[in-house]
Structure 1
């Protein structure tokens, strides 16, 4: 994909960024194309007040959209110039992007751009006996480090503790009526956002339980033939825990996910163990003492060759302003 004019490349980047993953598919971003600038705003109207009261996961989601936009610009023939949090008086303005020097897209950047449209969340159980090669994990780790984040691969004994964290998060969420109502709202939104039941796998035995989004028997996606025994659990973490760190964590999440897609892997995020403070504290104990976990990614080889249904997306007219 190539684009001749910088303004057209910026608008295309905003459109492509709408495909980014986000917590509960809230798509909590708003883009403004103004002259030579593409501005990324967090949309506070889409914050999850029960699950994400400090809006960290909202900014992580916006960081993923920021990385998607950068990928689009490179594929369009421009080096992206990014100013993160450019105005301290506008806390919701997270980044300003400009089209830098023109440069022919590399084969690697075009592959990454192609993966942007192939990427999806797969909540089905992954193949039983097909492990992710160590060299691929190393490549995913490098992708995260290029975005000022770290990617930790949990060892088998640490996965057991992740299981405890996931179970605790499920119990805590079920007891919180406000949290339960919020989940119900975002699993019955309609056509443009949220988590439809057809994208949530039915309950199945796994080493680490996955979120059922409060749907229970209403989950409509067949869990598939796998059992997740060969799944890898990867933790995106940062050295700090402020809005800039959250933004970097989102960019790293996108970079890892797109790199995994290029390698033919399937991914699903686990945000529940971040949302519940006790679960996050347990998760933090499995990492370097100074590391701040921002998201867990379950990675593996899809047990079913057919992809699951895609999550819905808001129309560009709702999320992009052109002035």
Structure 2
């Protein structure tokens, strides 16, 4: 067992809040705030950071917050305490998503330590992958990781199904690109070169000249008519990677939080083996296309995330708001 060197409820709370800010979020909006009361942390959704056009219901916001919740749980365990979690504890306060309290002392096992070590190392990828394969055994382990948090991760193995997902993504991106409301929303979270903002997508987080994968999964146009983007990418990294869909049996706010926790567990597990994820949520932001996907490819379950998993040697810096900006 790996006993933390300086164990106390106070350090566990501090570690959990510090870790949570590294969780992934749609457009890096970081739509969360935290309130600390003694040995208890309240996780709240920050509605000011919700995508009002593409995420009117707040589904992606809650998935992002679910990722932060799993990160807090992992960090608290790594600090030597079992977290006690209450999800949606007060129906009269819908912004209060969860309360995490320091529970009994525990010795973090190797699995917890491995996940915790990846919290700050995990990166979102926005391009093609190298031709190095993702091992089948790892994919199977990622499926189990998602299941442990209440969601289902389904690798899309049939080429025809991958082609359908790619086509739906291209169609959704094409429609959104023609809609000024979607465009303005993306621009809000696109950071120009040299920006000092601590949120949003930096200009060097995606390639200036994207290389098409086959089949091609459309990326967001964060540059929006500018020559933003990085020239540091590998032009030979054109592999699609392993396409996977994360689903839940229901589509409630609790399901969205569970999807976020499952997603982060999968991402940290993958990161420990050098595997990154690229996300494609455009199709899930269009109600009729999401419903088509649910009925035709997801066996009636609700798709919460579409991703590609693969190996890349890019290691971009990430931006996160300081802890003091998250406490309220």
Q: Which residue of 1 aligns with 2:265?
A: 255
- C-alpha spacing 1:2/1:143, structure 2 compared with 1 (3 Å): farther
Q: Equivalent residues in 2 for 1:258-269 (5 A)?
A: 258-269=268-279
CA contact (8 A) 2:161 2:297 kept: no
Would the alpha carbon gap of residues 198 and 241 (structure 1) be closer, same or farther in structure 2, given more than 3 Å must change?
Answer: same
Kindly tell me the number of residue pairs found equivalent between the two proteins. Answer: 317
Q: How does 1:162-241 map to 2 (within 5 A)?
A: 162-188=165-191, 190-201=196-207, 202-206=209-213, 207-215=215-223, 218-222=227-231, 223-229=233-239, 231-241=241-251
* 1:1-323 → structure 2 map (5 Å cutoff): 2-128=5-131, 130-155=132-157, 156-188=159-191, 190-201=196-207, 202-206=209-213, 207-215=215-223, 218-222=227-231, 223-229=233-239, 231-302=241-312, 305-307=313-315, 309-321=316-328
Question: Which 10-residue stretch deviates more, 108-117 or 84-93?
Answer: 108-117
When the two structures are superposed, what TM-score results if normalisation uses the length of structure 1? Answer: 0.93
TM-score, structure 2 normalization = 0.92
Deviation of 1:246 (Å): 0.2
Paired residue secondary structure (2:22): coil
User: Does 227-236 or 48-57 show the bigger shift?
Assistant: 227-236
Q: What are the Cα deviations for residues 79-102 of structure 1, in whole angstroms up to 9, with x where unaligned? A: 111110011110000000011110
What stretches of structure 1 of length at least 5 have no aligned partner?
none
**Cα contact 1:162–1:208 (8 A) shared by 2:** no
List structure 1 runs of 4+ shifted beyond 4 angstroms: none
What's the CA shift for 1:190?
4.2
RMSD in angstroms over aligned alpha carbons? 1.7
Against the structure 1 CA distance between its residues 134 and 70, is the aligned structure 2 distance closer, same or farther, given a 3 Å change threshold? same
